[in-house]
Structure 1
Amino acid sequence: MLMSTPLAAAAAGLGTGLSLIIAIGAQNAYVLRQGVRREHVGVIVTICAASDAVLIAAGIGGLGAVVRSVPTAVTVIAWIGAVFLVGYGVLAARRAWKQGEHLESDGAAEHSRRTAVLTCLALTWLNPHVYLDTVLLLGTVGNSYGSAHWAFAAGAVTASVLWFSGLGFGAGRLGRVLARPRAWRVLDAVIAVTMITIGVTMAARA
C-alpha cells in the first residue's frame, strides 16, 4: 500500500483519470458532436462528469471487488452495449452518406433533450469499459493510497469534470470550421467508424 499525502494522492488521481478518459471513445465522440452542435451541452457534460463521480466513488468504496466477482454481468452489459454502439454508428454513417445534408436537417425531434440524455446515459452506462476502467482499475489504484484514497478519488473526479467541460464547451468553437456540410459528413464518418469499431471489438471480447 502506498503511503502518500492527500495532495499527492489527488494529483495521482488527476493524472490517472485523465489518462483513462482522454482516449477517443464512444462517449467522447458523442460529447464532441453535441458540443460542436451546441445542443444540450451543459446537460451532457453534467451527466458524463456526474456518472464518472458515482462510478469512481463506487470503485473506491469497494464495488470493484463485486464487479470482479461477477464476470457474467460484465459480459451481458458488453453485448447490450455492442448492439447499441453499432446501431448508433450505422445512423452516423447514414448521415455521412447523405450528400448535402446539413447539421440542422436531421431535426429537432431526433436531437431533443430527452433523446440526448438517453443516448448519453446509454453510451456511459452500457459500456463495460466503464466498470473495468473507472470502477475496477481506478478503485484498485485509489485504494492503494490507503487513508488518502478519497483524495485520489477527488483528483480523478476533477479530471473528469475538466475533460468533459473542455471537450463539450470547447468544441463549440469548431462551429465555424464545420459550417460546411462536407465537414459534418467527415465528422459523422469518424464517429461512425469509432462507434462501430468499438461495438464490434466489444462483442468480440464479450
Structure 2
Amino acid sequence: MHSTAANNTAATCFDGVGNIFKDCIDPTWQRAFTAQKDTQWQIIHVGRHHNRVLDIQFNGSKNQRFGITAGPHSNPNTPHSWLDLTAFKSGQLHFDIRIIDFAHNINGLEISLDCGRNCTSEPLDINPAQQGQWQSVSIDIQRLITRGLEITQVHTGFAIQPVAGEQQGVHIQLDNIRLEANIPAPMDLVVL
C-alpha cells in the first residue's frame, strides 16, 4: 500500500469551507504525511455511502502517525503560511472512522491538531467501540485549544495515531474530516 501520488500528496478538490477530507484532500490542506515509512495510506473507493476514504495501516511498533497539513493555499499572513482557524474556535472537528483491525490495540487512538514544532494540542483519546462499523466522532475545538493548540497558526489540521505501544497492525479508514462552526456564508477558509 502507498499514497495515491508521489511526495505524499493526493488528488485534491474543493469541497467547501472547513473540509479537510471528503472523497479527496481539500487544497487548503493538500499534503498528507506519515511519521514513519511503516505507516502506509491510500485513498480507496469503498461504496456509495462513503465513496472514497482514507485507508491507513500502522505497520510499525512505535512513532506511527498520520496527518494532513496546510498546503500552498494557506494564509500567507500567518507565521510560516499556516492557517488561522480562529473562525472555528467555538466549533468542532468532525470525522467518520471505521476500524478494520484493532490488532493488539486496547486503549484506542489519539487525535491532535498541530501548530508547528513545540506547539501542538495534547492528544485527545478516542476509543471506537466496534470493529468494522463506521462511527462518527465530534471534538470541540476549544478542548484542543485548552490542551495547547494555537488556533491562529494551525499547521496540521488533523492527526491520528494509535496509543503508543499498541500501534503495530492497526488498520483504520477515515472519511468526512471537517471543521464546523457558525460562520457567515459565503466565506473562504483561506482568508479566515
Fold conserved (TM > 0.5)? no
Could you state the TM-score of these two structures normalised by the residue count of structure 1?
A: 0.21
Larger Rg: 1
The structure whose residues are more often strand, as a share, is 2
Could you state the TM-score of these two structures normalised by the residue count of structure 2?
A: 0.22
